[in-house]
A and B are shown apart, each in its own frame.
Chain A
């Protein structure tokens, strides 16, 4: 430690020469990604609580004319909430985090800064175009943008730029890995990078589906180059992408749990090989399960739905492996803090450290969220739950719970590193985390209960005539959760802005990165070509027949496009 610190400065890490370039890029390149992600989140997140108010009978009875601020039209706000949070916030954050993990773990800068900034530029232009399309009311099509609804071309071009940007990111990460591999023959890549590589392999396979949908159906339809599409085929293509998408969000959170939480809690990872097995399973089995989003679709056979259900249970296995492995990490952490008895470690955790507490809160939500997912992935139970409020209840405990809280945990240490200043306020951070946990539990439960009673998702319920008094209670409870989550969001942004602009204390912790090789994992785990081949084979088996079912060779595409506002077909 240096005695006199007149200027807040990063503690000098043991640097070899290339790391200087690496550290500089953390402030600029990675900072740009993380800050763009959080700025996007600030727009998207606010629209969430406002929707719960529109859906609450008690709230709308009290204020009958109340409208969502800024994006006054409900479905516009809903589109912002879904597209900006689920697609742009996540992707920018994941890319920035992936660069950080790759550079620090491999102890070398990215292969090409030019490629990295090029990708950022593409994604940023994509974000701007999509925001323009939605803000100007020309893309009220929600984040699933199912045809035959048609949005303005800038919406689709923006999405294409986002996805192509991530392909460039993938290339950059793999080229960096190849350089490292050339210098380190026969070594195992650090676990965090292993998981990152698995994530991008999966992402590249998955995005083929949505790329085909957008480039061959939606964008040409929107531009008027074609006049008809096939909504059933489009839904199949979307969900080829849509389920791996959730693992694309989840894997960075798992990277934090597996490789950072052990250090943050003063513990140790229990099993490196089984962590790798979990990541490989997530990568391989994320693709052939997507039809569990299509259980109610008329153009998909019950047989294919059954196949995807069985594989969905397989993809639950890596999350159970994670539960054991991380449970063991936390047990060791709890015992080192003085926990007694078989279960005392569950309580004796570092609940006062925001970086740890946010992840623990996320895990609590993930237990409820994960099991709710197993329930509606069961194809016969899904008949009662498909497209009801249960579904957003589920993914607000997983995506908006476990995943987002873990990203917030990451933000609470990575923002200080980017800025060179300590986190603005730990008490505010803790208040934010626990209000988020409580709010999301109430919201998840309220939405789940309303869903069981048949309340649909994605509906501006103000004024709809089918809400039973019992369901109204749960919708009102979701609105109370909305208030709590609104407070939590404000606290989050106070801390972000405070850290960026008002914090004066120096950073005294470095990134929780583990470098170097680990023992015990077979080297053949890193045969990415083999895994890619296996994934493509499974994709062919699970999706080939399904796509064939959606083909109509006699009539071809025969569904015209529609703007959401009008029942008159386009052109």
Chain B
């Protein structure tokens, strides 16, 4: 099979370029420690009341570290807020929060503005990611997977003080 000389150079150049892209990815994972969502466990969505998701909300682990359990449901995020209260949580600047999130019903999404937090929330699966909040401000948690008529209003807020 004949391959033209210029075409051979092109193939080598393209392969090298893709190799560089892949190396950049490798660096982002190994050096910059960008985390990908990975399995942390399953949960029965019909019986969340018997699990760690019975009482969603923030728990202070000390030294600026927190765990936060959230239940996504049609069509809001349950951060442990009381009835009629807004879905928001206040955090001190520099807080490092590990989120544990699941869905009670259908597929939802979990995206925090301005931070590397992007999870699919599937009923039956616990999704987890760790985020450090260094800059003060209000950051929305946005549901980014279609979940029904009020999907676009499914939002919560993180207020970093």
Contacts and interface: CB of A to CB of B under 8 A. Distances in A.
A297 B25 CA distance: 19
Contacts of B75: 567
Contacts of A302: 36-38
B26 to A, nearest CB: 9
A3 to B, nearest CB: 46
Contacts of B113: 454, 466
Contacts of A301: 38-39
Contact of A380 (B36, B126, B142, B147): B36
Given A298-B40, A567-B74, A552 B111 contact: no
A384 interface: yes
Interface string B100-133: 0000011101010110111111111111100000
A542 B124 CA distance: 23
Nearest to B75: A567
B11, B38, B45, B117: which has the most chain A beta carbons within 10 Å? B38
A149 B149 CA distance: 12
Contacts of B74: 562, 566-567
A420 B114 CA distance: 57
Given A296-B118, A378-B25, A387-B118, A271 B124 contact: no
B111 A454 contact: yes
Contact of A300 (B39, B42, B106): B39
A288 interface: no
Interface stretch (A107-115, A218-226, A305-313): A305-313
Contacts of B3: 271, 273-274
A317 B37 contact: no
A274 B8 CA distance: 11
A297 B122 contact: yes
B146 A466 contact: no
Nearest to A563: B148
B69 to A, nearest CB: 14
B44 A464 contact: no
Interface in A16-69: none
Contact of B2 (A232, A273, A567): A273
Contacts, number: 203
A552 B105 contact: no
B39 A384 contact: no
Contact of A378 (B4, B21, B126): B21
Given A383-B36, A567-B73, A149 B107 contact: yes
Contacts of B25: 309, 378-380
B22 interface: yes
Interface range for B: 35 or more
B121 A464 contact: no
A320 B12 CA distance: 11
B107 A273 contact: no
B134 interface: no
Given A148-B106, A387-B144, A559 B2 contact: no
Contacts of A306: 29
A317 B125 CA distance: 35
B14 interface: yes
A298 B28 CA distance: 20
Contacts of A300: 38-39
B2 to A, nearest CB: 6
Nearest to A325: B7
Interface of A: 73, 75, 78, 142, 146-149, 230-232, 235, 270-271, 273-274, 294-302, 305-306, 309-310, 313-314, 316-317, 320-321, 324-325, 374, 378-384, 386-388, 454, 456-466, 520-522, 549, 552, 555, 558-560, 562, 564-567, 569
8 contacts: A148-B107, A231-B123, A314-B18, A454-B113, A457-B144, A466-B155, A559-B124, A560-B46
Given A146-B145, A298-B122, A566-B148, 16 more contacts: A231-B125, A235-B120, A298-B121, A298-B128, A299-B39, A320-B14, A383-B34, A383-B117, A387-B109, A463-B153, A522-B1, A549-B39, A564-B148, A567-B74, A567-B75, A569-B46
